Structure 1
Amino acid sequence: MKTALFSIPLSVVLTLTVITSGHATEVMRWERLPLAVPLLVGQERVVFVERNVRVGLPVSLGDRLRVQSAAGTVYLRANEPIEPTRLQLQDATTGELILLDIVAEPAKSGQTQLEAIRIVEEPLPIRQTDAASAATDSPLPTPNQTPLPVVLTRYAAQNLYAPLRTVEALPGVRRINLPPDLSLDLLLPSLPVHAKPLAAWRLEDYWVTAIRLTNQTHQVVDLDPRLLQGDFVTATFQHHNLGSQGTSLDTTVVYLTTRGHDLAQSLLPTISPVDAALNLPRSTDMAAVTEARDEK
């Protein structure tokens, strides 16, 4: 493994020592560059992230590293020496990643317990002279004008297709559970495709639902958003067509955004088949009609 742990410049990772309730805490500033976290074999080190995270680690570590995560705190304990290895802390809400480069070595004689780590993202205080210089040299930031449906669609596509480490953070987005009985039979009724819901996310008043489309024929099927049946804000196909059934090109994904409600409320209602025989007059009714006509 070619991961370098301690070659990070001091200007990249700010480390401070904070005394809280008699315990020293090392503060590291996350700037989208890996943070070096040394460990001592047999000793647990605590990392305060202040957010609900999932921990991703290589399978090669096996039982050499015990990892526990609870309430925004990650607990790392090396059971034996570990070569430089990268861990991923993913925000369970936004998908944002924080990268940790760990290495575990045996404790030396007289070496004290390593202090806990607190990861912060707040910008460093700016001196008055620096603030004045920044005000004159840097233009004012312009607000992001990207429409929310576009932002949501891009986020959904990254979650399905992009590597985990490249998923851009999207504050405020949250995963939405799909109804187990959601029927998509009328989504593309004119095309020979099978539609299956994959996942859904919500941001403010918008929902995006990713739906897998699979070709059911041996012919190439062109995908046209005008053929979609329902009330959607936007519709985006991952590919423009589907290849022949049984090939690697027979499947794609369509991203549908809705506003004010989820996908289930944007689909056309399912109409039960009508049995025409139920509306035919009964034989007894026909006999009554015939008698009345004969009396006349």
Structure 2
Amino acid sequence: MKRWLCSALLLLVIAQVNAVEILRWERLPLAIPLQVGQERVVFIERNVRVGLPASLQGKLRVQSAGGALYLLASESIAPSRLQLQDADDGTLILLDIVAEPAKTNEPTLEAVRIVEAERTAPRDEVEAPAPRPAPPTPLPVALTRYAAQSLYAPLRAVEPIPGLGAAPLRDDLVLDTLIPELPLSYRALAAWRLEDLWVTAIRLRNRSPRWIEVDPRRLQGDFVAATFQHPDLGPKGEATDTTVLYLITRGHGLAGSLLPAISPVDAALNLPRSRDDEE
């Protein structure tokens, strides 16, 4: 009898230690209450970026590792919203948190696991005719839109693209050959890849004291598509002197589509020498 009772108590303790609350993500914000001074773990099984409101700076510590979030409130927190964005496909998950001091004898909050909700229709539901699908968005358009949203829009506005992932940028890119006749400075900001297509975002800055118009037809290189964030750039030093260029390449990253840099050539070299020069 005592052995059975001890075994039962041991199983109960193990069950309490390993208890995990399951929450299903169905596009509705998930409530995650916290206790001040006690860390709560949220298992999400995704590589996410966390959008933290400025009001929570110094109040909430957020750490991410191995598909888990570790939330620790150092003081009481009014209801606030966290935005979690999948770093691979841009999927957004919303968490509503609130932190209060733990009450006397109140148990520690268990860990949370967030899973995708299963979408099943009732058996007696009559299947409606499928709507006519809209024409698919061309991939270069979708990639350009995603890159622009990633740089300019808030996290919640970024439209996810399945299979899209960040691509590394080379440090030795020579971008001065893009529009060599214009006084511009260039800097590669970020790149993404989907199947055999790459999109690279490049910051352009006007180095002259006059307005400059930019036209994709003046670009030098092998590109599938090119889009400027703005049609012109203001004089150097003005707020309008900067824009972003989005370049789509196929089969390789940006480096494989740029023209090689050409060194200045002295036209007087290698010319036939006159007799006077020889003497």
Q: TM-score, normalised by structure 2?
A: 0.84
Per the alignment, residue 7 of structure 1 pairs with none
User: Quick one: distance in 2 between partners of 1:222 and 1:110?
Assistant: 69
Spell out the pairing of 1:24-39 with structure 2 (5 A cutoff).
Answer: 24-39=19-34
Question: Which SS does the other structure have where 1:66 is aligned?
Answer: strand
Per the alignment, residue 181 of structure 1 pairs with 172
Structure 1 contact 51–91 (Cα < 8 Å) conserved: yes
Instruction: Give the deviation of 1:192 after TM superposition.
Output: 2.8
Amino acid at match of 1:82: I
Question: Which SS does the other structure have where 2:244 is aligned?
Answer: strand
User: Quick one: distance in 1 between partners of 2:42 and 2:219?
Assistant: 48
Per the alignment, residue 7 of structure 2 pairs with none
Amino acid at match of 2:96: D
Amino acid at match of 2:62: V
User: Quick one: distance in 2 between partners of 1:69 and 1:269?
Assistant: 42
Amino acid at match of 1:70: A
Per the alignment, residue 145 of structure 1 pairs with 136
Provide, for residues 86-134 of structure 1, a one-character-per-residue CA deviation record: whole Å limited to 9, x for no partner: 222222222332221111122233322222212122334332113xx2x
Spell out the pairing of 1:1-296 with structure 2 (5 A cutoff).
Answer: 22=15, 23-130=18-125, 133=126, 135=127, 137-140=128-131, 142=133, 145-275=136-266, 279=270
Amino acid at match of 1:33: L
Instruction: Give the deviation of 1:242 after TM superposition.
Output: 1.7
Question: Which SS does the other structure have where 1:142 is aligned?
Answer: coil
Instruction: Give the deviation of 1:233 after TM superposition.
Output: 0.4
Structure 2 contact 26–117 (Cα < 8 Å) conserved: no
Structure 2 contact 186–203 (Cα < 8 Å) conserved: yes
User: Quick one: distance in 1 between partners of 2:196 and 2:111?
Assistant: 40
What is the percentage of aligned positions where both structures have the same residue?
62
User: Quick one: distance in 2 between partners of 1:94 and 1:71?
Assistant: 17
Question: Which SS does the other structure have where 1:226 is aligned?
Answer: helix
Instruction: Give the deviation of 1:188 after TM superposition.
Output: 0.7
Instruction: Give the deviation of 1:207 after TM superposition.
Output: 0.6
TM-align CA RMSD? 2.6
Q: Which moved more, 1:160-169 or 1:202-211?
A: 160-169
Question: Which SS does the other structure have where 1:86 is aligned?
Answer: strand
User: Quick one: distance in 1 between partners of 2:157 and 2:180?
Assistant: 36
Instruction: Give the deviation of 1:272 after TM superposition.
Output: 2.5
Instruction: Give the deviation of 1:282 after TM superposition.
Output: 8.3
Question: Which SS does the other structure have where 2:117 is aligned?
Answer: coil
User: Quick one: distance in 2 between partners of 1:76 and 1:141?
Assistant: 44
Structure 1 residue runs without a partner (length 5+): 1-18, 291-296
Instruction: Give the deviation of 1:62 after TM superposition.
Output: 4.0
Structure 1 contact 190–227 (Cα < 8 Å) conserved: no
Amino acid at match of 2:74: N
Instruction: Give the deviation of 1:50 after TM superposition.
Output: 0.9
Provide, for residues 39-98 of structure 1, a one-character-per-residue CA deviation record: whole Å limited to 9, x for no partner: 122332221111011223234334433322111111222233222122222222223322
Amino acid at match of 1:187: L
Structure 2 residue runs without a partner (length 5+): 1-11
Change (3 A) 1:92 1:240: same
> Quick check: which has more Rg, 1 or 2?
1
Q: TM-score, normalised by structure 1?
A: 0.79
Provide, for residues 7-58 of structure 1, a one-character-per-residue CA deviation record: whole Å limited to 9, x for no partner: xxxxxxxxxxxx9x72333222223332111112233222111101122323
Question: Which SS does the other structure have where 1:129 is aligned?
Answer: coil
Question: Which SS does the other structure have where 2:150 is aligned?
Answer: helix
Change (3 A) 1:67 1:200: same
User: Quick one: distance in 1 between partners of 2:23 and 2:147?
Assistant: 30
Instruction: Give the deviation of 1:154 after TM superposition.
Output: 0.3
Amino acid at match of 2:123: Q
